[in-house]
Structure 1
Amino acid sequence: MTYNMSMGTDEKRYIILIIYDIVDNRRRLKMVECLEKYGLRVQKSAFEAYITKKQYEKLEREASLLIDVEADSLRIYFLANHTAVRSWGIGDRHVEEVIVL
């Protein structure tokens, strides 16, 4: 799957980075299958996507169902504009802070 940075519609799109650490092979495979619907795998546990806000919200719902909050970790970095990153995560290692690029 590839994504095109030029928009064919008027709907605003965002770049997101999804990273995960999933200990169970079956759950990890399901996560990969889920994420492949939205973006490109850029490393073994990392995907990038260029999606609408509605797609992002759907992805967040779908991915959260695949995580064991006791054993796994999932992070989605939502690039809202050129200077700020909105971070959403599941698991015990999420840092609550604003990240400025």
Structure 2
Amino acid sequence: MLVIYDIADNKRRARMVKCLERYGVRVQKSAFEAFLTKKKYECLMGEAKNLIDATTDSLRIYLLANHTMVRVWGADAKQIDDVIIF
């Protein structure tokens, strides 16, 4: 999955980063990649949606299919070897 956010408040943004770091890898300033089981995905959803202000912030979670290919170039081109279970 890919998680991107735009959070206006520094304190809320810092809390979101801490939350997302428990589940995935930061790949850009406001973007995280994660390979999660269904249970971990549900936990992330429960936590993350409570960390934003829906009137000023944006949180997007893209679920990628098992056959999705990701190509990476440049600095910090990390490959995560894990399994998505859905």
| TM-score for both structures, normalised by structure 1 | 0.65
Q: How many residues align?
A: 68
Deviation at 1:67, TM superposition (A): 0.6
Q: State the match for 2:36 in structure 1.
A: 51
Does residue 66 (structure 1) correspond to residue 51 (structure 2)? The answer is yes
Deviation at 1:82, TM superposition (A): 1.6
Residues 20-59 of structure 1: matches in 2 within 5 Å? 20-59=5-44
| More strand, by proportion | 1
Taking only aligned residues, the RMSD between alpha carbons, in angstroms, comes to: 0.9
After superposing on structure 2, the runs of 4+ consecutive aligned residues of structure 1 that deviate more than 6 Å are none
Flag the structure with more relative contact order, 1 or 2, with Cα contacts below 8 A and sequence separation at least 6: 2
2 CA distance for matches of 1:69 and 1:59? 17
Q: Distance in 2 between matches of 1:76 and 1:48?
A: 10
- Identify unmatched segments of 5+ residues in structure 1: 1-15, 84-101
Question: Matches of 1:58 and 1:37 in 2, distance apart?
Answer: 11
Alpha-carbon distance between aligned partners in 2 of 1:22 and 1:82, rounded to the nearest angstrom: 31
Runs of 5+ in structure 2 lacking a partner? 69-86
Cα-to-partner distance string for 1:59-85 (whole Å, 9 max, x where unaligned)? 0110000010000000001113326xx
Q: Deviations over 1:41-70 (max 9, x none)?
A: 000000001110110011011000001000
Task: Percent identity, please.
Answer: 69
Q: Match of 1:79, as an amino acid?
A: L
> Structure 1 CA distance, aligned partners of 2:22 and 2:66?
23
